[in-house]
Each structure stands twice: as structure tokens, then as C-alpha cells.
Structure 1
Amino acid sequence: MGEAAGTGRKSIGARRNPDSADAILDAAEAVLAEAGYSGFSIEAVARRARAGKPTIYRWWPSKAALLLDVYQRQKRVDVPDTGNLEDDLVGFLKNLFAHWRLTASGNVFRSLIAEAQSDSHAAAALAGYATGRRAHTGQVIERAKARGEVAPEVDAGIVADLIASYAWRHLLTNRLDEDQATLRTAVRYVISGISARRR
């Protein structure tokens, strides 16, 4: 099961013209590739796309919102459906870490997290994205519930948060080369717990 790009955000204001929106996103990707995050600006994207800044701001209220759409457009991370929760989560983390490590998206997302610490628009955009991702990963847990692997009372959203926290920490500390055995150990801790007196 692949992750659809751009599904987590709704436009504001006037309805987007798909061709114009694609041209702006193409320009944003090009600016990001050439100038990096520090050189990325709405002005640079507008020049590259030959679009007005008001048009861009009507559809993306902040630089962070535009960057998140670029990030989601580039993101292709398969979430396995193996019939086993541990294998699904290990496979997901392995694919996610590889994507962040081997493409520019890891740097983009790391920068967005950093900007969200001091910019309210970035924080709101990131929170909206994280809510969508929480629900998406939670579906993996719900599938496992339906198979009887997970107790009915378990909150799938909290488990999704634990997996995301592990992933985001590794992204922020640039530790994306963990081997599969380490990923499996982390997933087992989440699934089985660490208490010596497991019930």
C-alpha cells in the first residue's frame, strides 16, 4: 500500500487551477533542488513559476504549507501489508528511513520541524500533517486488531505516535542508517512492552 501524495491538506480561498498549482509545485521543487532550504522563498518560486505571489499565498498560506505539499508530492513510502504487525511496522520504518536518507525529502522535513519551533504557520502546517500521518499509521494497528494481534482496547493513535516519535528522532539526529535488526528490536519493544512482568 503506497502513501498518496498531497492527501493531508485542503486548499484555502479560491479553488486551485490544477495546471497552475502543478507549475508552482514544479517550480518549488526546482528552487529547493537548486538553492536548498535556506534559499527557498515564495518570491523565488513565484519568479520560477511566472506566477504572482498573491496566487501562491491564496493556495498556500505560508512557506511551510508549500514545502509540506512539495514534501508530500515527493514522498513514496510503501507500508507493507504482510498479515503480521511486527513485519508491517519494521518494513514501514525501513522504507521511510531509506526514503529520507536517499532523497532530499529528509532534509526538507527536518527543516520544517525546525522552523515549526519558531513559526506559528509552520507549526500549524506540521500539526495538520502529523494528524493525517497518525491516522494513516493507526490504520496499520487497526488492521492488526481485526486479525486479533492487538487487544481491542489499545489506542491505535498512541501506538502510531510512538512509531512516529522513533522515526522523527532518528531523522532529527541523522541516524537513518539503522539496520533491520535494530528496527525490529524497537518495534518489538512497542508491541510487547519492556516490563519483566508482562501480563
Structure 2
Amino acid sequence: MAEIAERPARRSIGAQRNPASEEAILAAAQAVLMENGLAGFSIEAVARRARAGKPTIYRWWPSKAALLLDVYHNHKRTHFSHAPKGNLRDDLIVYLNNLFSAWRNPTTGALFRSVVAEAQADADTAAALTAYMADRRCQSSAIVIEAKARGEVRDDIDPELVTELLSSFAWSRLLTDRLGDDDADIIKTVDMLLSGIAKS
């Protein structure tokens, strides 16, 4: 699932990141992606564009996929917002609608689909995607944690597993190009899920 709040800063691998350099590298990566597409995206091209050394980029992003996922996250964040509604049903419906809306942006949706596809054959991409999704589940599970605190959800329910179930529905629609007008299906999916986790 996508975030409901600002993503916490990534821990640096090695030396602490220089914020200005990090911003320049991410901006260069997005520019290279927009100009050359995924086929023309490389660490070398980003380094040239950002006037940064490849070792610096690899110290902070251990693979091309890790850098692409940060570009994806930043781009998605410009199209995604979440204002809590105060009850779990409305929060999940709004969340999924906003996620689908973000993925309908050609760059955002296509980028994430490509990373998922590459992860099936490339171990570095798979590792980067696994780490990214673990971070997203941790962040997004706050929706369910807050609902638990309000007494809406059973005590034995695992919030991260709930978000993973919703992610499965969302990924299925993204990867099979079914991001059209899904309001009715989103509502039905949320209602079926709630029937299994709501406190009676």
C-alpha cells in the first residue's frame, strides 16, 4: 500500500547523505527517466546528469531499482494524499481510491509495474522491492492501528497483514491494467475485508 504520511528519511548506507546532493541525484534520476524511459535509465546517466560520482550513488542506493523506487515514491507522493476520515471503512475506501488515482498517472503506474516485473528475474530488484514494500506496509498499517485504538477492529488482527491483503487487490488491478472506474469494486472489497476483522 502507499503511504498515509511522509516517508521517513532512508537510512544512509555508509557516510551520511548530503541533502543537497541527494535532492540533485533524485531530480537527475527523474529527468533521465522522463527523457530516456526505463530502457535508457542507468546509474551512469544519472551520475552524469547530477554531476555526482557513481560510488556516491551506489553508497546511498545499492541498486538501480532502489533509486528507481525512491523516484517512484517521490513522484507518487505528488499525486497521493490521505486525510483521515475517522472511521476505518471510509479511510480504506479513500486510501484505495487515492492509490488508484496516483497509479493512473502514466509515469507513476508504469514505473512501478516495471520494477515489479524486473523483480521477477533480478535479485537486486527483488531485494529493493521487498524492502520498499515492507516499509510501505509498516507506514500504511497506521490506518488499522488507529482503528484498533478506536475499538473498530478485533484485538487479534495483524494490521500489516490487513494492508498486505489490500495491496494484493491493488496490485492485481495495476498489473492487469484495470485501474479504471473501480469505485464499486473498491467498496465491495473493503466491506468484505471489514466483515472479517471488525469488532462485533
Above 0.5 in TM-score?
A: yes
Q: With CA pairs under 8 Å and 6+ residues apart, which has the higher RCO, 1 or 2?
A: 2
**1:36 is matched with which residue?**
37
Name the CA distance, whole Å, in 2 between partners of 1:14 and 1:56: 11
Other structure's SS at 2:38 match: coil
- 2:136 and 2:24 mapped to 1: Cα distance? 26
> Residue in 2 aligned with 1:3?
5
Partner of 1:94: 97
2:117 paired with 1:114: yes
Change (3 A) 1:112 1:8: farther
Partner of 1:196: none
Equivalent of residue 134 in structure 2, options 107, 131, 136: 131
CA–CA distance in structure 1, aligned partners of residues 121 and 11 of structure 2: 23
Distance in 2, matches of 1:8 and 1:120, equals 24
Provide, for residues 91-134 of structure 1, a one-character-per-residue CA deviation record: whole Å limited to 9, x for no partner: 00000100110251111111111111111111111111111111
Q: Distance in 2 between matches of 1:18 and 1:53?
A: 17
Question: Identical aligned pairs, as a percentage?
Answer: 54
Give the RMSD, CA atoms, in angstroms.
Answer: 1.7
Structure 2 matches for 1:122-161, cutoff 5 A?
122-161=125-164
Where structure 2 has 5 or more consecutive residues not aligned to the other structure, the ranges are none
Contact 1:9 1:128 in 2 (8 A): no
The list of structure 1 runs, each at least 4 consecutive aligned residues, that deviate by more than 4 angstroms after superposition, is: none
- Counterpart of 2:169 in structure 1 is 166
Normalising by the residue count of structure 2, what TM-score does the alignment of the two structures yield?
Answer: 0.90
1:79 is the counterpart of 2:82 = yes
- Gaps of at least 5 residues in structure 1 are 194-198
Partner of 1:63: 64
With structure 1 as the length reference, what TM-score do the two structures score?
0.90
Q: State the alpha-carbon separation in 2 of the partners of residues 54 and 142 from structure 1.
A: 40
Supply the distance in 2 between the matched residues of 1:138 and 1:188 (Cα, whole angstroms): 17
Farther off after superposition, 183-192 or 76-85: 76-85
